[in-house]
Amino acid sequence: MYEEFKERLSSIISTGIIENELMNRHTTFKVGGPCSVFISPKIEEIPSVLKLCKEYEMPYLILGRGSNILVADKGYDGLVIEMGEENRQITISGTTITAGAGATLTAVAMAAYESGLAGFEFASGIPGSIGGGLFMNAGAYGGEMKDVVVSAKAIDEEGNFVMINADDMNLSYRHSRFMEDNLIITSVTINLTEGNKDEIKALMDDYNGRRKEKQPLGFPSAGSFFKRPEGNFAGKLIEDAGLKGLRVGGAEVSSKHCGFIINVDNATSDDIIKLMNKVQDEVKAQSGIMLEPEVKFIGEF
């Protein structure tokens, strides 16, 4: 059945398929074993791919920039669908920007700046795609995707193209309807305001300067590892628990920002999971708060 699936998939995908592709090449954590099959299809090919997956009961993962996931050392027993180069276009009309889901948040923020559009500066240093950013309602420095998004095009589980308006996205802290309904975002439209380019650039530089000063950008990570507990901050709880610099194998709680778990020396996914468990247990013991991971786990752990 698997060979038959690959053969039929190859007939659908014009860009070809890759077997046993290592996922550490496609995640910001730089960890993760092989997936069964890896593809970078054209958007119009995705509905046929989904129908094929449904027919063969093949699990699949939609991959943007790989910035908020942790893939198991064993890899992923399924199909990885990457939003490739052809789905990263950015177009601007007036104060409206439409970007393919694979476009990076930084690229969209730069396009906004170059057009003198304000309101997306918060996203300029977030290490992910705009599709992934909307999927999890990413945000920083007081801004979130829900503040600027107008609509998104997506593909549902049946392979139908649908348009979702912002009011129907159920956006809240690190949550969206796209998670609930397993929708594949193909493009995102945001609306900004006209602004002064110098002021926009100054704000972007300020945010990025703060990131460099406070975040361990020199090491592979998935960004903030834990969700922000209500009325508190994960990094503060971890630091107060005396866990700064705690290490398991090649994984470490960053001394620069305790909300980050970083890959300092060829960490494995198992190292990261063990470190996460230690952090959760100690913070719970000292504060009574159980930290919830923001990172999504892919594969068998």
Which tokens go with 43?
């958007």
Angle between helices 197-214 and 105-114 (to 10 degrees): 150
Query: Is 122:207 a contact under the CB 8 Å cutoff?
Result: yes
> Would residue 222 be called left, alpha or beta, if left means φ above 0 and alpha means ψ between -120 and 50 degrees?
alpha
Label residue 194 exposed, middle or buried (CB < 10 Å: 0-12, 13-18, 19+): exposed
DSSP state of 136: T
* Distance in angstroms (rounded) separating the CA atoms of residues 130 and 120: 11
Counting Cα atoms < 13 Å in the Cβ hemisphere of 75 gives 16
* Distance in angstroms (rounded) separating the CA atoms of residues 89 and 108: 10
Q: Catalytic residues, which ones?
A: 174, 224, 294
Residue reference for tokens 């052809």: 86
DSSP state of 182: T
